[in-house]
Chains A and B, each alone.
Chain A
Amino acid sequence: MTSWQAAPAAATPVREPVMRVKNLMKRFRRNDGSIVTAINNISFDVYPGESVVLLGPSGCGKTTLLRCIAGLEDPDGGVIEFNGNTVFSSEAGINLRAELRQMAMVFQSYALWPHMTILENIAYPLHCLPAGSRPGRKEIAARVTDIMRKVGIGGLESQYPNTISGGQQQRVALCRALIAGTNMVLFDEPLSNVDAQIREKLRDELMEMQRAFGFASLFVTHDRHEAMVLADRVAVLNGGVVRQFDGPTDTYLHPADEFVARFVGPVNELDLSAREITGQAGEAVGQSPLGPIHGLLRAEAAADLVAIWRPEVARLGAEEPTSPNRWKCAIEVAKFHGSQTEFSVKVGERAFRVLTHGGGIPLPEGSTAWMSVEPRDVQFLARR
């Protein structure tokens, strides 16, 4: 794992995290009696104002992790700290109930109560404050109106949730999460049940709100594009384990293993049967079915290896290049997308993808060409 404890670029190291999760464990007993480890020893932290995205395939434990943090599920082990307070600790026997954790969550369905007006929905958390710190009716109304105006849904106070649009519902849910003054919001795939066209718009709005209000967020999604755009740091989850916790660029450029590499973007790969270290910085030569391949070793010595490179770092050309990694290939399909062209090529029986900027490369379908990739762009990763 690359930089587990590394502080995010956005936060200065002296700042304390808003939330810290240590060695969290959660098992479920299925109906047939078998045990599922939904969360297996997960640790991470979230800094003030930071956006952390939990990215992983469906069933990898994202929702469970979020629900454990919110107090809706009882973990089997570990520690959860929130704003310096321990809200859960298996060793100390602490398990604060959800209603006492003062966390805020935006649900997948937004979970707006259909029988309450928008005003009542948003004001709800204020009414739930203990008697001493609860503001008066007038102030509650004023605060709700104020936050609604700030997110751009002023005037909807007396509407019911079923009469407003999906985008407005998201903002209502966000207002409800923020109204009590929390500094962190949990999101469980809030964009997954809206149309693809609106999704991007809502996503951008969400980022805008976060910038405007300055809250930290823990955002769950299975969509890598969403994760990349939203995240200051991405935690890639699989099988209840954090595979990598890094900035989006690092995660994309330097994936920790084959799973992460494939999950965050398209890849070309070649199995390696043997490898030999040739330089100080991890330079190595591996033995692939297409002959020797030069790259950077990024796995423990004993691991089963695979050589991986992204389609956009590969090159295509009519002339033989100088790079040590070069193969003569057949152009099968060339798709012109405007800003880039996507090639499907074959080296022998093996298929590869190459993305080139712009069009105009005179490589028609059916012709032969040279594919190459620089050694620094090829990574030898552990197979998963």
Chain B
Amino acid sequence: MMFNVGLLAVFIIGLLYPIAKALVWAFYSDGSWDLSAFGQFAANDDAMRSVPVTLLIVGCASLVATTMGLVLAYLNERTDARMGLFTDMIPFIPLLMPSIAGAFGWVLALSPRIGYVNQLWMAIFGTAGPFNAFSVPALIFVYSIHGTTFAFLIISAALRNLDPSLEEQSRLCGASRGRTLTRVVLPAMLPSIAAAVLLVIWTTMGGLAVPAAMAQPAGIPIMSVQILRFLQFDYPPQYGPALVMAFIMVGIIGAVWLAAARIRKLGRHGTVGGKTRVAARRSLGRWKWVARGFILLWATIVVLVPLTCLALVALNGYWAGHLRLDNMSVAHILSVFEPGSLNLISLLNSVKAALIVATIGSVIAAIFSVFVTSRKSKLVTVADGVMKLPTILPGLVLAIGFVLAYAGRPFDLGGTFLILVIAFLLEQVPKGTLTTDPIAAQVGRELTEASQVSGASGFRTFWKVHFPLMLPGTIVAWALLFVHVIGDLDTSALVASVHNPTIGSQMLRLGENGDYPAVAALALLVVLMSTTTVTTVFVLSRGRKWA
């Protein structure tokens, strides 16, 4: 009990201190309020332009993603084109293909001339391929990929909860399928669809991977990259304008998130039944196979294209105009990790950090969840809300705070392994609680109290009842945290450096230097480790004697 309170308090202080430090740093200097940071921001053309450009591109990507998500969800929930495996797989795509690997994979695929898709086009049609990774449409496309999985999840959940009798009623009234879709289903789904649009913006806007790999070389100003430029390309780092941008980003993201939460609530009032019958599936006839082909094509493009390109470049050891299959060798990948090289150090650092953070973090998340769900006081609710801030704020923004708070005096942790662990823990534990909270709630009050009444101490109750019941969920949280840290770029970009490199920071550096074979090798390893972890946990979580 005291232990839980202490742990939560330390965590919240660790989180609020960087935020407070960032506020003070940005707007306060030499004992008085100082708003010159705004001036510096406004004076930078790229920075100013990046706000509308980012919103436009992310907004378009979100519309594309939501449309795709809606189509996929409708096909899966309301027609016989449904493929169970696909539905089960879709939430895992972002885990199997972390955006830092996917983004560079798309660069290798769509670069003008030498991108493999363009090379393929050349080989087939004899003319130069039309794709350009360093363009606004390509950026929108790649942004929309992760957004689609997200939109799909939200919209198919909403479709499942939509009472099918609403549709049946409409058809009994004489409306055709099409009319029912446009007059009944879509309007009823509108809140969920709108929420999906906003939530896709929320998840994609703060990310660094896609714009760093694609927008930066193209000279398209995107906010997250611009923040990075203020801090890493300028010397000394310009914290003032970077923080101003960070606050603008938080403002937009916060507003978008709140609006989405509002709209989603509306949507819930709209669905009457709650848990209802499963809707009858519409038979598509021959079109069923077209629809299935479309679904499979999408999944293939999203996963296989970047993966194949990464593998080709990594195994070839170079990336050039002609694709040669005779030169492929694992030795090329191994040569990237010479002993003592930054590549190897970054790989080891990331794996070590991921193991530590996943292990400590998932346990802390489980402890927090048990504590928070078992105590319903206002103070605990507020503390829980504050603790969950990192699930809403972009990692890049938090990273600025972490650097400000812990890299310099009095902690002087800059460039150390410890600061990586601290930053990852502060960022990832709250994300872990999103997984462990519902499981703690399932454990319920009576199972705990039955243990108490049986004479068990608080520790015994945790160890014998909570821990084993929470273990499956905690293992899932462990896998999520591991995958997040291994594939992290947003935190690494600022907290890691050449003194404490991570895979993310190293890939960023290598990408700037054009060393794509090394980038591909690291990306491939990230995919490999993520896939192995996720599959193992998936298999493990099925082997329980009790359910």
Nearest A-chain residue to B467, judged by Cβ: A115
- In the assembled complex, which residues on chain B have CB atoms less than 8 Å from the CB atom of A71? 452-453
Contact B447 A113, beta carbon cutoff 8 Å: yes
Q: Is B546 in contact with chain A by the CB < 8 A criterion? A: yes
Cβ contact of A128, chosen from B447, B460, B469, B547, cutoff 8 A: B460
- In the assembled complex, which residues on chain B have CB atoms less than 8 Å from the CB atom of A162? 546-547
| Interchain CA distance A310-B524 in the complex, whole Å | 83
Q: Is B464 in contact with chain A by the CB < 8 A criterion? A: yes
Contact A99 B457, beta carbon cutoff 8 Å: yes
Q: Write the nearest CB–CB distance from B307 to chain A, whole angstroms.
A: 38
Contact B452 A124, beta carbon cutoff 8 Å: no
Q: Write the nearest CB–CB distance from B451 to chain A, whole angstroms.
A: 7
Contact A111 B450, beta carbon cutoff 8 Å: yes
- In the assembled complex, which residues on chain B have CB atoms less than 8 Å from the CB atom of A129? 455
Cβ contact of A111, chosen from B447, B455, B468, cutoff 8 A: B447
Contact A125 B454, beta carbon cutoff 8 Å: yes
| Interchain CA distance A70-B446 in the complex, whole Å | 13
Q: Is A108 in contact with chain B by the CB < 8 A criterion? A: yes
- In the assembled complex, which residues on chain B have CB atoms less than 8 Å from the CB atom of A99? 452-457
Contact A124 B447, beta carbon cutoff 8 Å: no
Q: A99-B457, A162-B547 are in contact. Are A114 and B451 (CB under 8 A)?
A: no
Q: Write the nearest CB–CB distance from A16 to chain B, whole angstroms.
A: 23
Q: Mark B444-477, 1 if CB is under 8 A from A, else 0.
A: 1011011111111100100011001100000000
| Interchain CA distance A328-B241 in the complex, whole Å | 95
Q: Write the nearest CB–CB distance from A117 to chain B, whole angstroms.
A: 9
Q: Is the interface of B mostly helix, strand, loop or mixed?
A: helix
Q: Is B286 in contact with chain A by the CB < 8 A criterion? A: no
Q: A124-B456, A128-B460, A129-B455 are in contact. Are A115 and B449 (CB under 8 A)?
A: no
- In the assembled complex, which residues on chain B have CB atoms less than 8 Å from the CB atom of A107? 446, 449-450
Q: Is B545 in contact with chain A by the CB < 8 A criterion? A: yes
Contact A98 B546, beta carbon cutoff 8 Å: no
CB-CB contacts below 8 Å: A54-89 with B: 70-72
| Interchain CA distance A100-B450 in the complex, whole Å | 13
- In the assembled complex, which residues on chain B have CB atoms less than 8 Å from the CB atom of A109? 444, 446
- In the assembled complex, which residues on chain A have CB atoms less than 8 Å from the CB atom of B455? 99-100, 102, 125, 128-129, 180
Q: Is A336 in contact with chain B by the CB < 8 A criterion? A: no
- In the assembled complex, which residues on chain B have CB atoms less than 8 Å from the CB atom of A382? none
| Interchain CA distance A308-B231 in the complex, whole Å | 86
CB-CB contacts below 8 Å: A92-149 with B: 97-105, 107-109, 111-115, 124-125, 128-129
Contact A124 B451, beta carbon cutoff 8 Å: yes
| Interchain CA distance A109-B455 in the complex, whole Å | 19
| Interchain CA distance A103-B444 in the complex, whole Å | 21
| Interchain CA distance A102-B464 in the complex, whole Å | 19
Contact A113 B460, beta carbon cutoff 8 Å: no
Q: Write the nearest CB–CB distance from A167 to chain B, whole angstroms.
A: 19
Q: Is A294 in contact with chain B by the CB < 8 A criterion? A: no
Cβ contact of B452, chosen from A72, A113, A160, A176, cutoff 8 A: A72
Contact B450 A113, beta carbon cutoff 8 Å: yes
| Interchain CA distance A176-B454 in the complex, whole Å | 8
Cβ contact of B449, chosen from A72, A160, A161, cutoff 8 A: A72
Q: Write the nearest CB–CB distance from A220 to chain B, whole angstroms.
A: 14
Contact A124 B546, beta carbon cutoff 8 Å: no
| Interchain CA distance A208-B447 in the complex, whole Å | 26
- In the assembled complex, which residues on chain A have CB atoms less than 8 Å from the CB atom of B450? 105, 107, 111-113, 176
Contact B449 A111, beta carbon cutoff 8 Å: yes
- In the assembled complex, which residues on chain B have CB atoms less than 8 Å from the CB atom of A160? 545-546
Q: A160-B545, A160-B546, A162-B547 are in contact. Are A111 and B456 (CB under 8 A)?
A: no
| Interchain CA distance A125-B454 in the complex, whole Å | 5
Nearest A-chain residue to B455, judged by Cβ: A128
- In the assembled complex, which residues on chain A have CB atoms less than 8 Å from the CB atom of B451? 113, 124
- In the assembled complex, which residues on chain B have CB atoms less than 8 Å from the CB atom of A114? 469, 546-547
- In the assembled complex, which residues on chain A have CB atoms less than 8 Å from the CB atom of B453? 70-72, 98-99, 101, 103-105
- In the assembled complex, which residues on chain B have CB atoms less than 8 Å from the CB atom of A111? 446-447, 449-450
Nearest A-chain residue to B470, judged by Cβ: A115
CB-CB contacts below 8 Å: A166-193 with B: 176, 180
| Interchain CA distance A70-B457 in the complex, whole Å | 15
Q: Write the nearest CB–CB distance from A300 to chain B, whole angstroms.
A: 41
B451, B453, B545 — most chain A CB neighbours (10 Å): B453
Q: Write the nearest CB–CB distance from B443 to chain A, whole angstroms.
A: 10
Q: Write the nearest CB–CB distance from B541 to chain A, whole angstroms.
A: 14
Cβ contact of B469, chosen from A104, A113, A124, cutoff 8 A: A113
Q: Write the nearest CB–CB distance from B93 to chain A, whole angstroms.
A: 32
Nearest A-chain residue to B465, judged by Cβ: A113
B460, B469, B546 — most chain A CB neighbours (10 Å): B546
| Interchain CA distance A103-B451 in the complex, whole Å | 12
Q: A114-B469, A115-B469, A115-B546 are in contact. Are A98 and B452 (CB under 8 A)?
A: yes
Nearest A-chain residue to B378, judged by Cβ: A31
| Interchain CA distance A162-B469 in the complex, whole Å | 14
Contact B447 A98, beta carbon cutoff 8 Å: no
| Interchain CA distance A72-B447 in the complex, whole Å | 13
Nearest B-chain residue to A105, judged by Cβ: B453
Q: Write the nearest CB–CB distance from B475 to chain A, whole angstroms.
A: 14
- In the assembled complex, which residues on chain B have CB atoms less than 8 Å from the CB atom of A113? 447, 450-451, 464-465, 469
Q: A114-B469, A115-B469, A180-B455 are in contact. Are A98 and B449 (CB under 8 A)?
A: yes
Q: Write the nearest CB–CB distance from A38 to chain B, whole angstroms.
A: 16
Q: Write the nearest CB–CB distance from B82 to chain A, whole angstroms.
A: 30
- In the assembled complex, which residues on chain A have CB atoms less than 8 Å from the CB atom of B449? 70, 72, 98, 105, 107, 111
- In the assembled complex, which residues on chain A have CB atoms less than 8 Å from the CB atom of B464? 113, 124
- In the assembled complex, which residues on chain B have CB atoms less than 8 Å from the CB atom of A124? 451, 454, 456, 464
- In the assembled complex, which residues on chain A have CB atoms less than 8 Å from the CB atom of B456? 99, 124, 128
| Interchain CA distance A111-B469 in the complex, whole Å | 13
Q: Write the nearest CB–CB distance from B249 to chain A, whole angstroms.
A: 35
Nearest A-chain residue to B460, judged by Cβ: A128
- In the assembled complex, which residues on chain B have CB atoms less than 8 Å from the CB atom of A98? 449, 452-453
Q: Mark B417-461, 1 if CB is under 8 A from A, else 0.
A: 000000000000000000000000000101101111111110010
- In the assembled complex, which residues on chain B have CB atoms less than 8 Å from the CB atom of A102? 455
Q: Write the nearest CB–CB distance from A191 to chain B, whole angstroms.
A: 16
- In the assembled complex, which residues on chain B have CB atoms less than 8 Å from the CB atom of A100? 455
Q: Mark B521-547, 1 if CB is under 8 A from A, else 0.
A: 000000000000000000000000111
Nearest B-chain residue to A163, judged by Cβ: B546
- In the assembled complex, which residues on chain A have CB atoms less than 8 Å from the CB atom of B452? 71-72, 97-99
- In the assembled complex, which residues on chain B have CB atoms less than 8 Å from the CB atom of A97? 452
| Interchain CA distance A102-B454 in the complex, whole Å | 7
- In the assembled complex, which residues on chain B have CB atoms less than 8 Å from the CB atom of A101? 453
Cβ contact of A115, chosen from B454, B457, B460, B468, cutoff 8 A: B468
What are the nearest 7 A-B pairs in CB distance?
A: A111-B450, A128-B455, A111-B446, A125-B454, A98-B452, A160-B546, A107-B446
Q: Which residues of B contact A (CB under 8 A)?
A: 444, 446-447, 449-457, 460, 464-465, 468-469, 545-547
Q: Which residues of A contact B (CB under 8 A)?
A: 70-72, 97-105, 107-109, 111-115, 124-125, 128-129, 160-162, 176, 180
A-B contacts, 28 listed (Cβ < 8 Å):
A71-B452, A71-B453, A72-B449, A72-B452, A72-B453, A98-B453, A99-B453, A99-B455, A100-B455, A102-B455, A104-B453, A105-B449, A108-B446, A109-B446, A111-B446, A113-B447, A113-B450, A113-B451, A113-B464, A113-B469, A115-B468, A124-B451, A125-B454, A125-B455, A128-B455, A160-B546, A161-B546, A162-B547
List 12 extra interface pairs beyond A99-B452, A115-B469, A129-B455, CB under 8 A: A70-B449, A98-B452, A99-B456, A109-B446, A111-B450, A124-B451, A124-B456, A125-B455, A128-B455, A162-B546, A176-B454, A180-B455
